[in-house]
C-alpha cells in the first residue's frame, strides 16, 4: 500500500473561519497540526496572522464565528497568534478525511477566499471516495495536484536528483552555516560545475522547496536540471 498526497483548494465559506476572515479582512491562517478525537470534534492548532490584526479583535471574531465551538490562546509572537480551536463537525469534508478515511493533514493555510490543504491518504481510493462524497454533498474539493509517496523526494518537493545532490553537498560542506564553511567557488569546484551553474541550480532548488514545502497549493513542476 502506497500513500497518496493531494493538494486541494476549498472555498473558505465551505470550510472554517469564514466569518472571522470576513470580519478581520487581510488575515491569514496556518494550521500547525490537526487532530480528530471523534466525528464531532476536530481540534486544530491555528496560527492567525495579519499586520492590522490584534488579539482583542481576533478573539472577538472567533467568539462570534459559528465554525468555532471554542478556542484557547496558546502563544503570541509579533503579528502572529496561536490558538487551539474546536471546529466541531462544521467542517464536513475534513471530518470525513480524518475520521473515515484515516487521512492526515500535512499542511493547511487559509487566506482571502480559499483554504489550501495538503492531505495524505493511506490509499488512493480514500481520495476518490472523498471527492465523490463532496460531489454528492454539494461541497467543493478542487484537487490541484496529486502524487504518490513512492515518487520520493521529487514527488514531494519538486526536486530533481541533481538539485537534491547539490543541496545535500552544500549542507554537508557548511555552505548554509554562518559564517559559511565553504565558499561558493569551492563548492562549485567540488561538484565539477561552474560558479554560474551552481548558482542556477541552487536558485531552482530553493524555489522548488519553497513552492512545494511551504507555499501550499502552488507546487512547481520539477525542473529539467
Would you tell me how many other CB atoms lie within 10 Å of the CB of residue 29? 23
pLDDT (average), residues 106-111 = 86
Q: 14 is written with which cell numbers?
A: 465551505
Mean pLDDT of 212-217: 58
Question: Are 15 and 91 a contacting pair, CB within 8 Å?
Answer: yes
Give 141 or 213, the one with higher predicted confidence. Answer: 141
- Say if CB 110 and CB 12 are below 8 A apart: yes
* pLDDT for 221: 45
What percent of the chain is modeled with pLDDT above 90? 35
Q: What digits encode the pLDDT tens for the residues 123-176?
A: 889 999 999 999 998 989 999 888 776 655 555 566 777 888 899 999 999 999
The string of pLDDT tens digits covering residues 50-83 is 877 889 999 999 999 999 999 999 999 888 999 9
Name the E strands within 41-79.
Answer: 41-49, 70-77
Domain ranges (residues) in the chain? 4-149, 158-214
Overall pTM surpassing 0.75 (yes/no): no
Determine the pLDDT at residue 150: 62
Amino acid at each position: 500500500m502506497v500513500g497518496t498526497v493531494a493538494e486541494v483548494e476549498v472555498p473558505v465559506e465551505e470550510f472554517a473561519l469564514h466569518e472571522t476572515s470576513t470580519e478581520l479582512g487581510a488575515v491569514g491562517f496556518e494550521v500547525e497540526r490537526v487532530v480528530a478525537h471523534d466525528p464531532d470534534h476536530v481540534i486544530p492548532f491555528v496560527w492567525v496572522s495579519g499586520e492590522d490584526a490584534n488579539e482583542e479583535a481576533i478573539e472577538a471574531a472567533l467568539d462570534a464565528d459559528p465554525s468555532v465551538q471554542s478556542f484557547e490562546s496558546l502563544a503570541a509572537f509579533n503579528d502572529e497568534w496561536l490558538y487551539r480551536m474546536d471546529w466541531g463537525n462544521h467542517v464536513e469534508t475534513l471530518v470525513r478525511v480524518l475520521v473515515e478515511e484515516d487521512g492526515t493533514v500535512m499542511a493547511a493555510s487559509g487566506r482571502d477566499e480559499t483554504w489550501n490543504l495538503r492531505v495524505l491518504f493511506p490509499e488512493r481510493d480514500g481520495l476518490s471516495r472523498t471527492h465523490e462524497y463532496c460531489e454528492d454533498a454539494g461541497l467543493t474539493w478542487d484537487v490541484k495536484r496529486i502524487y504518490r509517496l513512492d515518487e520520493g523526494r521529487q514527488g514531494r518537493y519538486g526536486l530533481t536528483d541533481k538539485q537534491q545532490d547539490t543541496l545535500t553537498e552544500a549542507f554537508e560542506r557548511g555552505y548554509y552555516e554562518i559564517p559559511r564553511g565553504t565558499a561558493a567557488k569551492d563548492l562549485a569546484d567540488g561538484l565539477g560545475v561552474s560558479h554560474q551553474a551552481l548558482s542556477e541550480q541552487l536558485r531552482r532548488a530553493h524555489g522548488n522547496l519553497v513552492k512545494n514545502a511551504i507555499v501550499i497549493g502552488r507546487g512547481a513542476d520539477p525542473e529539467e536540471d
